[in-house]
Structures are given as structure tokens and as C-alpha cells.
Amino acid sequence: MTTSVRDVSTEAAISAIVAARRGRRGPLLEILHAVQAELGHVPEEAIAQLARELNLSRADVHGVVSFYHDFRREPAGRTTVRICRAEACQALGADALVTRAGERLGIPPGDTTADGAVTVEQVFCLGNCALGPSVQIDGKVHGRMSPDRLHALLDEAVSS
């Protein structure tokens, strides 16, 4: 099996992240967040490497990555749209937002459009309950979101 330049640089980046946090107590979550910040996602090859370097089982690392919705296994699109599905937003129409996003983009929550323009995610609280339903687009929270307003924001995201 040959090793690509990307694999070597990914491995080196992960090793540097682990080395900077190795002495901390229970560093896995912090390390996973740092890997995602550096690489844009937690690639499959990171699971085995982190298990090796932290003396954990692959199942332990995989379990943490798959349990927390904040960790991506694939790179996100250029724009990330997060739709809140917590109780307050659900009561105020979050289902309609998910439906509209799916109709506009042709993807279910958790996927990225084929052109890599937009990733849609469901989250379970954006901390904007009083102004629900809420969405977050590239880190900016938008409250009192309507399906039509979301459609317009998605149009902007797709065209950029």
C-alpha cells in the first residue's frame, strides 16, 4: 500500500495535535475538536491513529465521534446550515424548515450538496429559544425563521 502526501500530512497534523494535549486529563474530546478545526472533519484514518496515540480502543474513539453530532466524518460544504430541532423550535415550526431545505437543496439533513456548496445539519439547541425557530448559517444565528426566508438564504448560499 502506498502512502499519499495527504495521508502523511494528515497523520503529522493529528500527531502534532495529540502531542500538544497529551498531558491533559481525558483529552479525547478536545483533541477531536482540534482535529476537526484543523482538517475540517475527523477523517476515518484519524480514528485508528488517535486510538494508538492515546492508548484507547478504536471502538472508544469511534464511539465518541459518532455520538457527538458536532463531529463530521466528511468535509462540510462551503456553507453550513444548522437547523435547530430542540423542543422550542420544534413547537414553532422547525419541521417546515427541514422540509424546505430538503426541497430547495435536494438533500436530507446531514448531507452536503453534490457541488459542495451547502451542508445541512440538525442540531438540538442553538440557544436562541425565545426567537425560534432558529437556524445558524456559517456561525451566524437567525431567529424567527420562516420557510420562505430560509429559502432565500439558501439561494444566496448556493449562488456564492
What's the rounded mean pLDDT across residues 61-75? 92
State the pLDDT at residue 8.
63
- Separation of alpha carbons 3 and 6, rounded Å: 8
19: left (phi over 0), alpha (psi -120 to 50) or beta: alpha
Model confidence, pTM = 0.77
DSSP one-letter code for 3: -
State the pLDDT at residue 70.
83
State the pLDDT at residue 1.
42
pLDDT single digits (tens) 105-158? 999 999 999 999 999 999 999 999 999 999 999 999 999 999 999 999 999 988
State the pLDDT at residue 2.
42
pLDDT single digits (tens) 10-66? 999 999 999 999 889 999 999 999 999 999 999 999 999 999 999 999 999 999 999
CB-count burial class (<10 Å; 0-12, 13-18, 19+) for 108: exposed
Residues in Cβ contact with 64 at an 8 Å cutoff, skipping those fewer than 6 apart: 28, 29, 32, 71
State the pLDDT at residue 160.
79
Answer yes or no: is pLDDT of 67 > 50.
yes
State the pLDDT at residue 115.
94
- Separation of alpha carbons 14 and 34, rounded Å: 9
